[in-house]
Each structure stands twice: as C-alpha cells, then as structure tokens.
Amino acid sequence: MDFKLILGVMTLLVVPFTTGSSVTFTRTQCDLVKFHGGNFQNSGIVDGGFKRAIQRLNDYAEACKVKIYITSSFRKDDKKVLWGTIVKPSKISNHFVGHAIDMNLMTPLIDGSRHFCNSQCLGDEKKQTKGEKCFLFQIGHDTTLRWGGNFSTPDPVHIDDGINKRNRAEYNRLFASLQTNCKTV
C-alpha cells in the first residue's frame, strides 16, 4: 500500500470518532497559546501545558450542548514582589501560570434564544439548564480538572487543573518564566 492509501484508510477510521467542532490554537509570545472556536464563544490564553484540558472542556461542552464564554484566563500578577532574582507571587493562583479559566456558560434553546449562566447561576443548580448541569457533572468526573464551586471559598466560574497543589515546583518554574517573559494580554 502506498502512503496516500494508508492515510486515506486511517482518515476513514478516525473521522467518525472525532467530535464535531474542535478548538483552534495559535502560538503567541512565550509558551502561551491562544485558543478559540469550537464550543468557545470567544478566546482565551493559556500555557501550552493546559491545551489538553481546553480540548477536554470543548468536548464536554459539545456533549452537553453548551457554549463556553471565557471571562478570564492567563493573568499577570501585578502585585508580585522581586526578591533579588526570585519572583515571589502575591498569591498562588493558577491563572498566573495559564492553568485556569473563568467562564460563563450559554445554552442555545429550541425557541432560538439562549440561556446565560453567570456566576450566580453556576453556583445554584436550580438556575441551570440540563446542559449546564451536564457540563459541571463532566468536570466533576474529570480526573485532573477542579471546579471552583467546590472550593472552600466557592468560585463557581473557575476551572483549573490544580497544578499549584499537584506540582508546586512546576508551578514555580512556570510562574517565573511566564510572569517575567510574557506581556499582558
């Protein structure tokens, strides 16, 4: 078999199993990537190490028929202090290393209108559509993602991968690199 034929057969096998709309990533400065499209209404900026989490969120939104509106992603720590050559964070936030997003959800309804789920809605199951509940359920069953609504100080718009707890050394490395080299976006 020649290469083109192998490729054709592989495409036929793979295509039916891929989900509908996929996210587009574009490299920005540093190790940050910009993502948009798929089930994201707008765009956000994350560390390259958080790309797969973004892809999973896109898949969950697809399965639950909701759209994700990003309200915050990578952030600069404007209050950080410089101790010689060591950059000390003002607080440990996964936004500072591009491993967190803040979002609202949107559900397209059959009458053509949309249900908008903001912080208040995300924090109150009674205000959510079936799709919005479904999306949070998927995050609850993801082995690495954490939902801020379950934090001791609830932050229902927040989703991250807990890199600050799982791997503090990597958090510190990313913080020093991204906070020093990347411009505010």
**Which residues are at the interface with ligand NAG (CB under 6 A)?**
136, 139-140, 147, 150
Q: Which is nearer to ligand NAG, 106 or 136 (CB)?
A: 136
CB-nearer residue toward ligand NAG: 69 or 147: 147
The least distance separating ligand NAG from the CB of residue 97, rounded to whole angstroms, comes to 21
CB of 93 to ligand NAG, least distance (A): 18
- Spatial distance between the Cα atoms of 11 and 6, rounded to a whole number of angstroms: 9
Closest CB to ligand NAG among 147 and 175? 147
Please tell me the distance from the alpha carbon of residue 183 to that of residue 49, in angstroms, as a whole number: 18
CA distance 80 to 143: 31
Q: Which of 181, 174, 178, 135 is nearest to 157 (CA)?
A: 135
At 112 the three-state DSSP class reads: coil
Nearest approach, Cβ of residue 86 and ligand NAG (Å): 34
